[in-house]
Amino acid sequence: MTEERRVELAQRLESLRERIAAACAAVGRHPDEVALLAVTKTVPAEDVATLLDLGLATFGENRAQEAATKVTEVAKLRPDALPRWHFVGGLQRNKVRVVAPWVTRVESVDSVRLADALATAARRAVDDGTRDGPLPVLLQYSVDGDPKRGGVSDAGLLELADHVEGCPDLRLDGLMAVAPLGADPDAAFAAIADAAARLRAAHPGATELSAGMSADLDVAIRHGSTSVRVGTALVGERRITSR
Ligand SMILES: *Cc1c(COP(=O)(O)O)cnc(C)c1O
């Protein structure tokens, strides 16, 4: 970890906080209403340690194995820190056991089968003492219903929510969505906010709306996002692998 990188991350974080504050101010929201999830996929553990030093506490990962390795590395680098890890990518059912011991929230639940697999893994982690309670989840909503990009479409949203609500080892916290590529972000986040409102009407505990990334977080905040997931704007294009 060079000093130069530390300064870069500190500056990027400051600009990002200013941007979030400005987006909130524009619609009369308080910046505390919008959590910042630092997406650290493909970013080395040293950067996560630096971001912890800079006051961030919640990190997003999208590959189970890479994340599991990083969680261990970060714990070695900052043994006294208490990072929270959110899983934000497509999760295969055979990988749920890799994340269950340490994941704070899974934001990408989009099927009954994945919910059931997570519930089983969460129960097992509680039984063996690696977790201390139900696993908080968000339902990943697909605005355009394109199955390739993950997410449950309108037709299945409330049914999936009812199912998750019925799983004692899961806790339904809200909705997550990615604006479709090439779509008008204003229309996309309006549709996402509408889905979040319908979910909340049926499940009052589902208050979280994880929406907005580097390119569109301002629009997402305007439409009620409670958590923005920011990678590039915070960590730059730095990558530990070629993907
Ligand atoms: C990578 C990723 C992000 C962050 O995207 P940036 O454009 O780098 O800010 C947010 N959400 C999900 C689901 C991601 O996979």
Question: Does ligand 1 have an atom closer than 6 angstroms to the CB of 214?
Answer: yes
Angle 219-104-193 from CA coordinates, rounded to 5°:
25
Whole-model pTM?
0.96
Mean pLDDT calculated for residue range 4-14: 97
DSSP, res 148: G
| Alpha-carbon span 221 to 216, nearest angstrom | 9
Chain-centroid distance, C-alpha 15: 21
What pLDDT does residue 148 have?
80
Residue in this structure with the two tokens 């959110």, named with its chain if needed: 86
Closest atom, ligand 1, to C-alpha of 213: 9
Question: What is the rounded (10 degree) CA torsion for 14, 55, 232, 118?
Answer: -150
Ligand 1: centre distance to CA 39 (Å): 6
Question: Does ligand 1 have an atom closer than 6 angstroms to the CB of 89?
Answer: yes
Which pLDDT band holds residue 239 (cuts at 50, 70, 90)? low
What pLDDT does residue 242 have?
42
Question: Does ligand 1 have an atom closer than 6 angstroms to the CB of 232?
Answer: yes
Question: Does ligand 1 have an atom closer than 6 angstroms to the CB of 153?
Answer: no
Longest CA–CA separation in the chain, Å: 51
Mean pLDDT calculated for residue range 18-43: 97
Closest atom, ligand 1, to C-alpha of 108: 13
Which pLDDT band holds residue 1 (cuts at 50, 70, 90)? low
The pair of three-digit structure tokens given for residue 170, joined into one six-digit string: 């899961």
- Residue 65 clears pLDDT 50, i.e. is over it: yes
Domains parsed from the chain with CATH numbers: 3-235 (3.20.20.10)
Question: Does ligand 1 have an atom closer than 6 angstroms to the CB of 149?
Answer: no
- Residue 100 clears pLDDT 60, i.e. is over it: yes
Closest atom, ligand 1, to C-alpha of 233: 9
